[in-house]
Structures are given as C-alpha cells and as structure tokens.
C-alpha cells in the first residue's frame, strides 16, 4: 500500500495509525494536521474558511510535494522506519523550516504522541533550528525581549501574559500553532519544539512571504482582522481604580470639560455591581445610569463599563447559571474558582448558550442605557490558582482547550453588539488568543507594576502583540500598582509613560494609585470595595498637568493619522505599532532594535525608558531622511544619533516627505 497519496487536493500520509494531511489554506499558505487512530478533525478555533487555490501536487513512492504559491511542503519517507519527515521551502528552494529527523538510535520522532493513560496525548512537534534565525510575535510576555529566539514560552494565559501562538521568522515564514491546549514553545539554538499538554491532534498553519508585512497580512486573512476602530478609540481615555458612585465619575468628567481637555472615553471600573455576576449597576451608588450616559455624551464622552466573567455564589444569577450548566467546573475540590470579594466561578464562554445569557443581561442593564463599549476584565481567566489541569469547560478540559477562552469571551460581546446593529466595535480586554482581533478585542497588558523595568517590558510586549496579529493594544499608563501621586519619582515615570502612551494604538490613563483613606461604605454602614487614589491629569501637580495636556492635544491633532492606521489594520491586519524591521526589512540594524519603533509608516518613536534619562541613541533607518519632530532639524538615514529630551519631550522623528510633520507644534 502506498504511504503517500493525493486526496481531493490534499497530500496525505498514512502509516502505523497516524494520518497526516497537508492542504493549501490561503495564498502561499498550508494547513498541516496529524492524528493517531482517526482522521484529523477540522476544528476552527481560529482559522477561517480560506479562498480556494489550486496546488501542485507530486507523489512518488518515497517522496511527495505540495506547492501552493511561494511555499512547498516536501514529504520524505524514511526507508528504515517508514516514518515521514516534512521540509518547507520557499519559491527559490531555500529551506524555511524542517521537521527534526527521527534521531536514529535516539528513537526521536518529529511528531511525538505520548499517550495519557485513559485519555488523549501529550504532543511534541519538533523542528530543526537555525541558530541565526530571529523570531517575533507570540503575544504578550513580561520580558525585555523582542526577538524570542532562545526563549522558552509558556502557552498559557496569566494576568499580564497573553499567549498568541503565531511567530514570524526572519527566514521568511510565519507559523501558527493552531491548538488552544496549555503547553509550551521552545525556540532553542538546537531545536524548536511546540508542546501541548493534552490534545487529540496536531494542527498548525504555515505561510511564506518576502517581507514581515506580507507574512502578518497573510495571517490576518487566515484568522480575521479587527473591525474599523470607532472614532472614540482615537483620542484620550480616562480611568482610575474605581469611581465608586455616579456623582464622583460625573464630576471628573465635568472637570475635564471645564478645562477644555478632550476625553473620548471615561471608565466605570469593577464592583459597580451589587454582587459579582449580577451584570448591572448597584442602585445605591448609581441611581440613574441612563442619565449619566446622556450627560457624558453631551460632553463628547463615551462611558465604558467593566464586566467580569466571575459569578459570585451569592449573585442573583448564580443559581440559574449553575442549573443550566453555564459555569466552569473544577475537577477536584470545592467548586470555587476564585476568592476575591466573595467566592465565585467563571461563566463558561466556550458554551454558546452561556455567551447568549451573559450578553442578554448586559444588553438589558447596560446597552439599553446607551453604553456602547465594555471592559472585559479577568479574561485569561484569572483562576485563584493557575492549576490549568483542574478546570473543565463545555468544550473540554481547560488543559486541552483553555487558551481559546479570551477569544470567546470577546466574541460574547461582539456577537451581541453586532446583533444590535453596531458595526464599529471595540472592547477592552485583558487577554487574547489567535483570532481575538476579529471580535473587536483591544488588549491591555494587565495589572503591571509602576517602574521603569516594567515600562520597558511593555514596549516589547506591544510590538510582539502586533507581530502576532493583535493590532489593538495598550497599557495602564503609569502602571497599575504602586504609584503615589505625591511622589516626585513616580510623577516623572508617569510623564514618560504618558508620552509613550500618546503613540500607542489607544491612549488610556489607569492605575490603582496610593491613597491614605480609600474606604467606601453603604448607607447601612457596610464597607464595600475602596475607590483608590486620584488618577486624573491634575492629580500630579500643575507642572505635570501641563505636560500631559500637551500630549492629549497632540493626540487630538493626530486623529487623521491614527484613523488611517486603524483603516490599515482593519483592511490588511497591519500593526499600528510596528517594529522597525516591519517598515524597513532590508535594513539589518532594524532587526536588532527593541526600544524604538514606528507608529505607522512615517513616525519613528524612541521613548525614554530609564529613570532620570534625558538623552539616548536613536537609529534612523537608511533610504530616507528624517526630521526631528520638535526641532525640525533634518538628518540622513543610516546613522545613529544622540538625542536630548527634557522631561516634557519624547524623541520623535518623521520620515521625509510625510505630512505628519505638521502635527507637531
């Protein structure tokens, strides 16, 4: 019997219980699936239906190939073991990626299925490693690394960690591990390995491109692109730990309005509800939400409200949701997933009926009052303990499918808002997986600390999220925790962060600021969650307020430019924040830069990322001239210059010939 066959435009290998299928999946791209004892399933965790293409397939006795545009998969049979090894080549025949050999006496396999007794498989897919290769993407990890080569990355979500398993190689390929199982990716100098802790099959997508832009845009076509950003996503967003009642929130909005400082979005954060999972305002503290929304809109502001996926055991909805199977389950122990201001479980976003139930509650209690933007917190989800093997969903055990949770959490609101007729949808969310972008997910980097090391990590995180196909991304300007508005050192950090935040996809001030007395009580004397310290631009002194106001006004002038970047993200999947090599792939120096980047194609941003830093080196890419946005001095590209920047300035350069220079006063 022939081990290699063509079947309906696919290349198929069958031997010793394994079925391996390679098929075209969009231009210059392939989908590769393998399963033991059964035909591979066509799961669509992230991949969309591709446009049909006509591959070229050649089949011999011991070798076969499938060519789809710029990429060719070559399958070779080992004459001794009958095992199959895959090599991927570009249109010139250069090797892009190759499975590791079977290992001779070592007994290694390129696709290693290790049985889980009574269950499915641990899976390791191994590939040869080029030690000179550079790799980018993979989502958001809290590290000062842009190139993730020689990194071991956990394929799991945590607060401030978003695993988006798509990587772009300097060799000219992009690779999506299309498997939502908890696991790890190891990009070693000697081997590349993708590991799933529990799975039924191997499933990945690979594409070839001449530039990083071609690769990322092909990936966007494969898994989907963001909607068009609404106008209120282009300006400044105001937020703090918690505005504890309607009047406090409105008075902050009124003060911005009195100062003539434009605010696009103001946020009502967590525990504005009676019990977690009630999905409504607490009437004692927010007596007339509809009137609050109307007044904000009159001032040109949208209200964003926080929604958590947890449901407290004392919530008015818990009993019904438990009876209908709308909650996640623990495998062992007490059926409680998190302890925070009560005992709670998460709603099961993998269950379509649970998604509909939660949206209907939010539609009745928020959307009908005019709220058009939601903050989807805790989206990893953030279990009380990250014991990934102790939770089970409608779709299966968390360890096998859990990484898809934040994508489906975003879909809960996207589907509901779309059904209401809303077309431009953006919702802030604390995590993402492949495909989250098509559901209007604006990811922020979680509950990060307020220090310069953390600030530097966010620059790398934001750029790698863009390379992983998530163009909408932001941070808590100033960091979430440990900031004291009266501390001079923190004020300087906030200014530097705020300047950088002006050139992030969304500009949002947030944080749990220090306050001596933050307690809040009900009328009956019962204490509820505190309000947190002040976090408005005037909370840090007039000198700082003047600087922050300057950058809010700059962001306003940048609206047409930013709107164009959002259009490019919507149409092509292009990142808003772009690595230097994304825009200048032929300039070798650009592949090494992690502390400067491009905001779109024309604005080079070099944030000040170290304490008491007032000058830094900036590399200006070759092939064009550059103008300092503030001094208007012009420089030739292809050189590194030393730039001075006082506290009120961030080094910014504009590409020659761009009208963006007019944005800077």
Residue-level pLDDT at 426 = 98
* 361: number of Cβ within 10 Å: 17
Helix axis angle for 542-557 and 488-501, nearest 10°, is: 0
Q: Is 269 a catalytic residue?
A: no
pLDDT in tens, 58-81: 999 999 999 999 999 999 999 888
Q: Is 534 a catalytic residue?
A: no
Residues 112 and 121 sit within 8 Å (Cβ to Cβ): no
CA distance 326 to 346: 9
Residue-level pLDDT at 104 = 78
CA distance 85 to 78: 8
Task: Please name which of 492, 627, 470, 611 lies closest in space to residue 547, comparing C-alpha atoms.
Answer: 492
CA distance 173 to 177: 13
| Mean pLDDT (the chain, rounded) | 97
β 427-429/441-444 pair status: parallel
Residue 637 has pLDDT above 80, yes or no: yes
Tokens of 621: 């890419």
Residue-level pLDDT at 103 = 74
pLDDT in tens, 167-176: 999 999 999 9
Residue 107 has pLDDT above 90, yes or no: no
Options 447, 487, 534, 649, the catalytic residue: 447
Residue-level pLDDT at 105 = 85
Handedness of CA 235, 472, 369, 231 (dihedral sign): positive
Options 120, 348, 377, 476, the catalytic residue: 377
* Predicted TM-score (pTM) above 0.95: yes
Q: What does the pLDDT average to over 423-442? A: 98
Tokens of 20: 């391996």
Question: Any idea what DSSP says for residue 540?
Answer: G
Domain spanning 579-663, CATH architecture:
Sandwich (2.60)
Domain limits, the chain: 4-222, 231-572, 579-663
pLDDT band at residue 102 using 50, 70 and 90 as cut-offs: confident
Examine domains 231-572 and 579-663 and report if their fold is the same: no
Options 380, 512, 536, 602, the catalytic residue: 380
pLDDT in tens, 370-421: 999 999 999 999 999 999 999 999 999 999 999 999 999 999 999 999 999 9
CATH code linked to domain 231-572: 3.20.20.80
Tokens of 157: 């979500």
CA distance 459 to 461: 5
* List of E strands, 52-189: 56-59, 63-68, 71-77, 84-89, 95-98, 111-115, 121-128, 135-140, 152-155, 162-169, 173-177, 183-187
Task: Please name which of 226, 271, 269, 319 lies closest in space to residue 509, comparing C-alpha atoms.
Answer: 269
Residues 320 and 353 sit within 8 Å (Cβ to Cβ): no
What order of strands is seen across the sheet that includes strand 18-24? Answer: 4-7, 10-15, 18-24, 29-36, 201-208, 173-177, 162-169, 135-140
CB-based burial of residue 506 (10 Å sphere; 0-12 exposed, 13-18 middle, 19+ buried)?
A: buried
Residue 577 has pLDDT above 80, yes or no: yes
Residue 665 has pLDDT above 80, yes or no: no
Residues 5 and 61 sit within 8 Å (Cβ to Cβ): no
pLDDT in tens, 452-492: 999 999 999 999 999 999 999 999 999 999 899 999 999 99
pLDDT band at residue 518 using 50, 70 and 90 as cut-offs: confident
Q: Is 546 a catalytic residue?
A: no
Fold of 4-222: Immunoglobulin-like (2.60.40)
């Amino acid at each position: 019997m022939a081990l290699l066959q063509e079947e309906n435009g696919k290349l198929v290998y069958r031997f010793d219980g394994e079925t391996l299928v390679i098929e075209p999946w969009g231009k210059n791209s392939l989908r590769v699936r393998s399963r033991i004892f059964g035909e591979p399933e066509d799961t669509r965790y992230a991949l969309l239906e591709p446009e049909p293409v006509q591959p070229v397939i050649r089949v011999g006795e011991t070798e076969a190939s499938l060519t789809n545009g710029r990429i060719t998969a070559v399958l070779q049979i080992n004459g001794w073991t009958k095992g199959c090894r895959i090599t991927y080549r570009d249109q010139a025949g250069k090797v892009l990626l190759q499975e590791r050999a079977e290992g001779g006496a070592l007994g290694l396999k390129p696709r290693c299925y290790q049985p889980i007794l009574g269950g499915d498989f641990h899976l390791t897919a191994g590939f040869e490693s080029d030690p000179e290769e550079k790799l980018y993407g993979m989502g958001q990890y809290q590290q000062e690394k842009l190139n993730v080569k020689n990194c071991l990355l956990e394929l799991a979500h945590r607060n401030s960690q978003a695993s988006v398993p798509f990587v772009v190689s300097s060799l000219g390929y992009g690779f999506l591990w299309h498997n939502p199982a908890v696991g790890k990716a190891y990009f070693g100098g000697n081997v590349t390995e993708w590991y799933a802790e529990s799975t039924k099959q191997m499933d990945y997508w690979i594409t070839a491109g001449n530039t990083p832009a071609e690769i990322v845009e092909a990936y966007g076509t494969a898994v989907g692109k963001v909607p068009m950003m609404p106008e209120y996503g282009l300006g400044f967003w105001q937020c703090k730990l918690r505005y504890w009642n309607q009047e406090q929130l409105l008075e902050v909005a009124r003060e911005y309005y009195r100062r003539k400082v434009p605010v696009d979005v103001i946020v009502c954060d967590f525990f504005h509800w009676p019990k977690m999972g009630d999905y409504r305002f607490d009437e004692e503290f927010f007596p007339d939400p509809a009137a609050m929304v109307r007044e904000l809109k009159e001032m040109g502001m949208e209200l964003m409200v926080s929604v958590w996926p947890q449901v407290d055991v004392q919530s008015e909805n818990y009993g019904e949701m438990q009876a209908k199977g709308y909650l996640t389950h623990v495998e062992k122990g007490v059926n409680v997933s998190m302890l925070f201001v009560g005992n709670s479980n998460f709603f099961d976003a993998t269950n379509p009926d649970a998604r509909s139930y939660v949206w209907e509650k939010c539609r009745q209690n928020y959307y009908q009052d005019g709220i058009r933007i939601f903050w989807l917190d805790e989206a990893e989800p953030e279990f009380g303990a990250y014991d990934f093997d102790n939770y089970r969903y409608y779709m299966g055990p968390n360890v096998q499918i859990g990484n898809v949770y934040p994508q489906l959490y975003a879909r809960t609101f996207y589907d509901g808002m779309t059904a209401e007729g809303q077309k431009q949808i953006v919702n802030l969310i604390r995590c993402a997986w492949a495909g989250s972008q098509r559901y209007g997910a604006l990811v922020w980097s979680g509950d990060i600390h307020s220090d310069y090391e953390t600030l530097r990590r966010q620059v790398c995180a934001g750029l790698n999220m863009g390379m992983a196909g998530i163009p909408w991304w932001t941070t808590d300007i100033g960091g979430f925790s440990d900031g004291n508005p009266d501390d001079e050192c923190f004020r300087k950090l906030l200014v530097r962060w705020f300047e950088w935040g002006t050139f992030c996809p969304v500009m949002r001030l947030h944080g749990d600021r220090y306050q001596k007395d933050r307690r809040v009580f009900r009328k009956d004397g019962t204490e509820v969650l505190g309000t947190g310290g002040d976090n408005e631009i005037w909370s840090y002194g007039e000198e700082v307020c003047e600087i922050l106001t300057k950058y809010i006004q700059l962001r306003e002038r940048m609206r047409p430019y930013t709107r164009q970047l959002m259009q490019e993200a919507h149409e092509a999947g292009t990142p808003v924040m772009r690595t230097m090599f994304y825009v200048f792939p032929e300039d070798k120096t650009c592949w090494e830069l992690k502390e400067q980047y491009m905001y779109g194609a024309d604005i080079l941003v070099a944030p000040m990322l170290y304490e008491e830093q007032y000058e830094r080196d900036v590399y200006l890419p070759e092939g064009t001239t550059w103008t300092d946005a503030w001094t208007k001095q012009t420089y030739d590209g292809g050189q590194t210059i030393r730039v001075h920047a006082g506290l009120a300035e961030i080094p910014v350069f504009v590409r020659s010939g761009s009208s963006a220079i007019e944005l800077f006063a």
